[in-house]
Amino acid sequence: MSVLTLQHVDQVFGTGSARVQVLHDVSFAAEPGELSLIVGPSGSGKSTFLTIAGGLLTPTSGTVTVAGQTYSDRTQKARDRLRLESIGFVLQAYHLLPYLTVADQFKLVDRVKRTGNLDAAALQALLRQLGIDQLKHKFPAELSGGQQQRVAIARALYPDPAIVLADEPTAALDSPRVQVVGQLFQALARERGKAVVIVTHDVRLDPFADHVFEMQDGTLTQRA
Ligand SMILES: Nc1ncnc2c1ncn2[C@@H]1O[C@H](COP(=O)(O)OP(=O)(O)OP(=O)(O)O)[C@@H](O)[C@H]1O
Ligand SMILES: [Mg+2]
């Protein structure tokens, strides 16, 4: 069963002469064990799509379901809980907290979500895989863009979510690191049964995808 669906989603921003329709009748389903890639040019609506899929934005019309539950049927609190328990977000801006070390970024997750997070050995293995295990005592400002990006990926995966949504997760990475991250996301899907959805214009991720969709002016189509 699909763990994440969007049905006939429209998104409009602004009113009157400033009105822009950013998503047009978008339908999509993500399955456990599969990596879906959504590619498209800048401004085509990829981040808007992902923000709606993750329940951070309620669409103008259409339905979003996560784990069989419709977002709009739930209270804000229940929605936050569902998101916290089921969804790992890698946002386009990394959203690392500037006054916390890398290690403390994970401890903060423990305070918000107390159970079901990766154990210490699994976290260490993840950090090593991403090449950031030596950076635990650094603050975000002491890291390069690519290192911050990999910390943000690790933090999104730390709660062990069933659904992983990533917005341009490789934008700051060189090609060898893109391979590492592509393999990591693919393994999360294939070996750990996660539903992984990545929006990107990085064609270097194509080989890792089970399905590729194209976003063009707010219309989503599956590539044959
Ligand atoms: N809150 C908002 N209010 C008004 N317009 C918005 C808002 N958010 C996004 N848009 C517009 O919606 C369109 C799609 O934006 P979106 O961020 O989804 O594109 P994108 O495909 O992620 O682009 P990029 O590849 O540059 O990240 C853009 O024209 C943008 O200006
Ligand atoms: Mg974007």
At residue 78, the pLDDT reads: 86
User: CA 220, 211, 208 angle in degrees (round to 5)?
Assistant: 130
Closest C-alpha to 127, from 146, 155, 104: 155
Testing ligand 1's pocket by substitution, the residue of 47, 213, 215 carrying the most ligand atoms inside 8 A of its CB is: 47
**pLDDT of 69-105, one tens digit each?**
888 778 888 888 888 889 999 987 778 999 999 999 9
Nearest atom, ligand 1, residue 199 CA = 22
**Mean pLDDT of the residues in the chain:** 93
C-alpha distances in Å from residue 77, one per residue of 55, 72, 80, 97, 135: 12, 12, 5, 23, 34
Higher-confidence position of 54 and 94: 54
The dihedral through the CA atoms of 40, 152, 91, 53 has a sign that is positive
At residue 69, the pLDDT reads: 86
Give percent above pLDDT 70 in the chain.
100
Ligand closest to Cα of 46 equals: 1
Cβ atoms within 10 Å, residue 217:
13
Quote the number of domains for the chain.
1
**CB distance 105 to 97 below 8 Å:** yes
Cβ atoms within 10 Å, residue 137:
10
For residues 213, 206, 180, 103, the Cα torsion angle rounded to the nearest 10 degrees is -20
Which amino acid makes up residue 22? V
Q: Report whether residue 42 contacts ligand 1, using a CB cutoff of 6 Å.
A: yes
Most distant CA pair in the chain: distance in Å? 55
Distance of CA 52 to the CA centre of its chain: 11
At residue 40, the pLDDT reads: 94
**CB distance 28 to 37 below 8 Å:** no
For residues 194, 207, 25, 76, the Cα torsion angle rounded to the nearest 10 degrees is 30
Quick one: pLDDT band at residue 45, thresholds 50, 70, 90?
very high
At residue 132, the pLDDT reads: 95
Question: Whole-model pTM?
Answer: 0.93
| Structural domain span for residue 10 | 4-222
Domain of residue 51, CATH code: 3.40.50.300
Tokens of 125: 């293995």
Closest C-alpha to 46, from 206, 211, 198, 221: 198
Q: Report whether residue 91 contacts ligand 1, using a CB cutoff of 6 Å.
A: no
Q: Report whether residue 44 contacts ligand 1, using a CB cutoff of 6 Å.
A: yes
Q: How far apart are CA 164 and CA 147, in angstroms?
A: 19
At residue 26, the pLDDT reads: 98
At residue 109, the pLDDT reads: 92
Tokens of 96: 């690392």
CA 14 / ligand 2 centre spacing (Å): 18
Closest C-alpha to 139, from 72, 79, 86, 94: 94
Q: Report whether residue 22 contacts ligand 1, using a CB cutoff of 6 Å.
A: yes
User: Mean pLDDT across the stretch 141-157?
Assistant: 93
